[in-house]
Structure 1
Amino acid sequence: MKNRMSITAKYITALAALLLIAVLFFPMWKIELSAPQYPEGLELRIYPHKLGGDVEVVNGLNHYIGMRTLHTRDFVEFIVLPWIFGILSFFGLLSIVINRRWFMLLWAGFFFLFAIVAMVDFYRWEYNYGHNLDPAAPIQVPGMSYQPPLIGFKQLLNFGAYSIPDTGGWIFIAAGLLIAYAAFNEIRNIRKPSPKMALAISCALLFCLASCNNGPQPIKFNTDVCDHCKMTITDPKFGGELITKKGKIYRFDDVQCLSGFIQAGDAKKDEIGKIYLLDYNNKGILLDASTCTLLKSNELRSPMGGDLAAFGSTESAAAQQKIFNGILTSWNEIQK
């Protein structure tokens, strides 16, 4: 009896195996491209068996910068992936029939090995795709590569590239979480973890959570361009950042530009994650817009005439108010 799977593990394994079959019917990954000339954006969708989305448009753009054109027939992965998902699903169900804990754990190990190999292979493809360029391409930028991000956002010339799991990818992740949960419980049934082991696992989880940072990123002054007025950001006392819930970052050289960007609908309010403003007293430091105090004064002379400065405390803002003869306000107030 000790070597048999628990009832909970059986149900979870069955659900995970069925989810692996469901993955075959949805795109697993997508790369979104945004640029001024494509206001609605472009999408490249990666299914287990084919490429989808705006493939032809992307291929047309690739020609100009020397990147390879994309065709389903060029990827052996699209032949083997459906088989791998089918085999993984079959052996998951087989582990329930055999009803042996060791078989289920072996299956879980192969699943996670496949997940790691798949991500490494995807990164390798992205690297080759972005670095192996045609030397005779019409547009050439010395030292420039066009490797898409493995996950998250990356700026590629005037295109913003955002890479994220699609529906099939989220289903695959859900299956992985279920398998991990079932395997963890089966291992725990074999041997209860010691207090030291439990503490180590807890610390590792806390470290992973702390590493998932969606906070502000330093602005590169005299290099970064304002996403609203398209001027180079030069003054470290004014401006800020808007970070979407997906992690995409927009930078601005003036609080007025940031506010105008939102009011123009360039960033939908339900997609906005966090907003940060540059600290007037500490050059280059970004403050949470919801907690800082703003000073409005025509004497501040900010780059685009917004004449708004942010401070980390009401006291520091009041001290500058005596110099610039302005009024104290907040981010929420100027958005009304």
Structure 2
Amino acid sequence: MNTKALPRISTIFILLAAVCLAISLFVPIWQIELNAPQYPEGLALQIWASKIAGDVDIINGLNHYIGMKTLHTKDFIEFTILPYIISAYVVLFLVVAWRRTKKLLNIACAAFILFGVVAMVDFWIWEYNYGHNLDPNAAIKVPGMAYQPPLIGFKQLLNFGAYSIPHIGGWLFVAAGILLLAAMVVARPASKPKLPKNIVAILTLIVVTALSSCGTKGPERVNLNKDACEYCRMTISDGRFAGEIITKKGRVHKFDDIACLLNFEKAQEQSSVKARYVSDFLKNDELIQAAPAWYVATSGIKSPMNGNVAAFASKEAAEAHAAQWKATVETWEQLAHKMNHPHDNPESHHH
């Protein structure tokens, strides 16, 4: 019966859904990424509940040339009302958890689904107008060309590849919807439905997984004999010397030699690097953080691009191999300075 109190598990799911929506107010909900050869790091347009963020100024500059409207938060009524709408759903979910009636749960679930449909339709209409209503006096005109970004997924727009994907807040919305549906399933009028005992842990894991994307992304596995070095373009074949850089925009750059990693980073903006990883020389294709690792540079080893540097997770392992090769152990800072400023070193790093 609708008047029967919801099970405690349903109440927990509803509270978790409310938490997901509350957090979505403070993180990006959606992201449109633009990739092109002239922008190796790509451009990103982030849509929050209350604003547009990301590389807005650069994208607006490009829009001006092809006749698209420039983007400004103040031009969208949605950014004024959306925080209030999301907050209202948070309150609604809390009321449902407090009252614990199936009728209120059904109303909340239906209202949330309706909100999702309306939001996506509104987003599509905005994208359509954004890509089709072009300035006829634009500097660059391509007859019959429209620049509507994809609602979700990939689309090629001239020399730009556009990706439209949920960001952290978007996945939190998905998690909230799943939690609401789970609450309804648990509360269905069958006689004590049989659900796994660890169902709470499973659905909580969904929420934690969505939230974990806020943190630092770990290294991406290097596919030997398949991935190419970002700097020298050679295929990465020796897992003992590989390296990886992850930028603040989440781009992953892989290298076949620590020398290539350092040369690539030297040509980039230092502030764009979020994390660096190098292969543990002893474990072949296992990436470790570059900063706390220990290094031995010597002609006694031959790396793919003659950087001739081996990285070790422990100082003891590095010292043992340094003694074998009659070389010295260095920190990341020492190695990076020596390889980036070879003329500052009276002695070669080869021994």
Normalising by structure 1, report the TM-score. 0.57
- Kindly tell me: are residues 260 and 9 of structure 1, through their superposed partners in 2, closer, same or farther at Cα, counting changes over 3 Å? closer
Q: C-alpha deviations, 1:248-304, integer Å up to 9, x for none?
A: xxxxxxxxxxx99942448x99999xxxxxxxxxxxxxxxxxxxxxxxxxxxxxxxx
Query: Cα offset for 1:4?
Result: 1.6
The answer to whether the 8 A contact 1:49-1:81 is kept is: yes
| Alignment partner, residue 142 of structure 1 | 143
After superposing the two structures, state which structure 1 stretch, 26-35 or 96-105, moved more. 96-105
Which stretches of structure 1, 4 residues or more, deviate above 6 A after TM superposition?
A: 268-272
Q: Does 1:88 align with 2:89?
A: yes
Distance 2:122 2:226 in 1: 38
Query: Cα offset for 1:168?
Result: 0.9
| Alignment partner, residue 35 of structure 1 | 36
Distance 2:82 2:131 in 1: 23
SS in 2 for 1:39: strand
Correspondence 1:145-224 to 2 at 5 A: 145-189=146-190
The answer to whether the 8 A contact 2:68-2:133 is kept is: yes
The answer to whether the 8 A contact 2:63-2:69 is kept is: yes
Q: Does 1:127 align with 2:128?
A: yes
| Alignment partner, residue 78 of structure 2 | 77
Distance 1:190 1:143 in 2: 61
- Kindly tell me: are residues 38 and 5 of structure 1, through their superposed partners in 2, closer, same or farther at Cα, counting changes over 3 Å? same
SS in 2 for 1:139: coil
RMSD between aligned alpha carbons? Answer: 2.7
Distance 2:226 2:153 in 1: 22
SS in 2 for 1:187: coil
Which amino acid letter does the alignment assign opposite residue 157 of structure 1?
L
| Alignment partner, residue 228 of structure 2 | 263
Q: Which structure 2 residue ranges, 5 or more long, are not aligned?
A: 194-223, 237-243, 245-250, 253-351
Correspondence 1:1-336 to 2 at 5 A: 3-189=4-190, 262-265=227-230
Q: C-alpha deviations, 1:103-151, integer Å up to 9, x for none?
A: 1111111011101110111111101100111111110001100000111
Query: Cα offset for 1:182?
Result: 1.2
Distance 2:112 2:156 in 1: 33
SS in 2 for 1:112: helix
Which amino acid letter does the alignment assign opposite residue 187 of structure 1?
R
The answer to whether the 8 A contact 1:3-1:101 is kept is: yes
Distance 1:118 1:190 in 2: 37
Aligned length: 206
SS in 1 for 2:187: helix
The answer to whether the 8 A contact 1:59-1:70 is kept is: yes
Query: Cα offset for 1:186?
Result: 2.3
Distance 2:189 2:174 in 1: 22
Query: Cα offset for 1:180?
Result: 1.5
The answer to whether the 8 A contact 2:9-2:186 is kept is: no
The answer to whether the 8 A contact 1:92-1:107 is kept is: yes
Distance 2:225 2:72 in 1: 41
Q: C-alpha deviations, 1:158-177, integer Å up to 9, x for none?
A: 01111100111111111111
Which amino acid letter does the alignment assign opposite residue 170 of structure 1?
W
Q: Which structure 1 residue ranges, 5 or more long, are not aligned?
A: 193-258, 273-336
Q: C-alpha deviations, 1:180-222, integer Å up to 9, x for none?
A: 1112332354898xxxxxxxxxxxxxxxxxxxxxxxxxxxxxx
- Kindly tell me: are residues 86 and 190 of structure 1, through their superposed partners in 2, closer, same or farther at Cα, counting changes over 3 Å? farther
Normalising by structure 2, report the TM-score. 0.55
The answer to whether the 8 A contact 1:3-1:102 is kept is: no
SS in 2 for 1:25: coil
The answer to whether the 8 A contact 1:24-1:168 is kept is: yes
Distance 2:226 2:142 in 1: 30
Distance 1:80 1:170 in 2: 21
SS in 1 for 2:185: helix
